[in-house]
């Protein structure tokens, strides 16, 4: 019952954030035009939606097998990661006031899915669907690479390895543990996919900042809070987060390359009206 309650609460929070963001970022004429062209737009991104949907179905279907293989291999890197960073997460928990636990728990539980859902909706409604295609491929790349690491290596988070670190969110809101346990294992922390996927959203928000300037500000704030929350709540190590940043950045550049190849293969025009990250940085 706790899983159902938390799922419904998460859906409600994400919907509120999505509607609020759309009201802040979209113009009425833009929505009307997107509605008129909805069929055409969906057909244009259908191959990418198909790839993403197929992968996520396969990932869900093979999740238990992946965890079992990981435990049988037993290549545990937890001690090595601790040797690199030591008690950083414990110091972080002792430094940040306890009054922020509710806020960072909300960012972890609700802010993260808000980013993953809102970004594709905005890019479906954008003047070009190039960013949506890049986003979907980057999502898939993150999960493919992340799943590979999760299958090969066992890494326990700080809350499971250090007595000096508390699982703050689970201590204060134990009902959240059932939902997170349903979608991931406590040995799957390197790299941090919360971080990598949040970075993907932020990078594409930067690329689309001319069309959605407010989205850059909104996503930048939420991404920062999500990344901090993964460490403050004792779920991830700093090393996990750094690896997540590298994975997120790399997946965006790989997605850009893959979409170019797919568009040529499908004989479609990218319709890209924004400049690339490199050219925008030099503005």
Q: Which residue has the tokens 């941090």?
A: 192
Q: Looking at per-residue confidence, does 283 or 195 come out higher? A: 195
Q: What is the pLDDT of residues 108-152, one digit of tens each?
A: 999 999 999 999 999 999 988 999 999 999 999 999 999 999 999
In whole angstroms, what is the distance from residue 274 CA to residue 279 CA?
A: 10
- Quick one: how far is CA 206 from the chain centroid? 16
Residue 196 has pLDDT above 70, yes or no: yes
Residue 281 has what pLDDT?
38
Q: Looking at per-residue confidence, does 3 or 88 come out higher? A: 88
Residue 182 has what pLDDT?
58
Residue 201 has what pLDDT?
98
Q: Which residue has the tokens 């403050």?
A: 232
Q: List all residues 6 or more positions away from 155 whose beta carbon is below 8 Å from its beta carbon.
A: 76, 77, 78, 81, 187, 188, 189, 190, 237, 240
Residue 176 has pLDDT above 50, yes or no: yes
Q: What is the pLDDT of residues 208-267, one digit of tens each?
A: 999 999 999 999 999 999 999 999 999 999 999 999 999 999 999 999 999 999 888 766
Residue 173 has pLDDT above 80, yes or no: no
Residue from 121, 152, 120, 151 nearest 138 by CA: 120
Least confident of 36-40, 174-178, 273-277: 273-277
Q: What is the pLDDT of residues 77-108, one digit of tens each?
A: 999 999 999 999 999 999 999 999 999 999 99
Residue from 222, 223, 276, 275 nearest 253 by CA: 276
Tokens describing residue 99:
């009054």
**CB-count burial class (<10 Å; 0-12, 13-18, 19+) for 173:** middle
* The overall pTM is greater than 0.85: yes
Tokens describing residue 186:
């406590």
Q: What is the pLDDT of residues 150-168, one digit of tens each?
A: 999 999 999 988 888 888 8
């Amino acid at each position: 019952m706790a899983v159902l309650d938390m799922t419904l609460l998460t859906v409600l929070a994400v919907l509120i954030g999505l509607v609020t963001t759309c009201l802040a970022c979209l113009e009425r004429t833009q929505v009307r035009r997107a509605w008129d062209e909805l069929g055409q737009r969906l057909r244009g991104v259908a191959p990418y939606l198909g790839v993403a949907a197929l992968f996520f179905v396969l990932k869900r279907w093979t999740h238990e097998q992946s965890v079992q293989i990981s435990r049988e291999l037993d290549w545990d890197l937890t001690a090595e990661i601790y040797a690199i960073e030591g008690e950083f997460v414990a110091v972080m928990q002792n430094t940040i006031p306890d009054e922020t636990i509710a806020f960072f728990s909300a960012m972890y539980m609700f802010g993260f899915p808000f980013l993953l859902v809102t970004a594709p909706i905005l890019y479906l409604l954008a003047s070009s669907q190039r960013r949506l295609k890049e986003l979907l491929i980057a999502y898939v790349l993150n999960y493919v690479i992340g799943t590979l690491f999760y299958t090969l290596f066992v890494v326990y988070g700080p809350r499971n390895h250090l007595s000096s670190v508390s699982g703050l969110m689970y201590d204060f809101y134990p009902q959240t543990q059932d939902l997170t346990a349903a979608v991931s294992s406590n040995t799957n922390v390197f790299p941090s996919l919360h971080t990598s996927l949040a970075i993907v959203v932020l990078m594409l928000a930067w690329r689309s900042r001319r069309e959605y300037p407010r989205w850059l500000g909104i996503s930048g704030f939420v991404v920062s809070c999500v990344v901090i929350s993964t460490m403050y709540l004792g779920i991830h190590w700093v090393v996990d987060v750094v690896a997540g940043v590298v994975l997120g950045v790399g997946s965006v550049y790989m997605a850009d390359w893959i979409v170019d190849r797919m568009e040529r293969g499908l004989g479609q025009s990218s319709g890209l009206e924004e400049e690339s990250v490199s050219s925008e940085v030099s503005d």
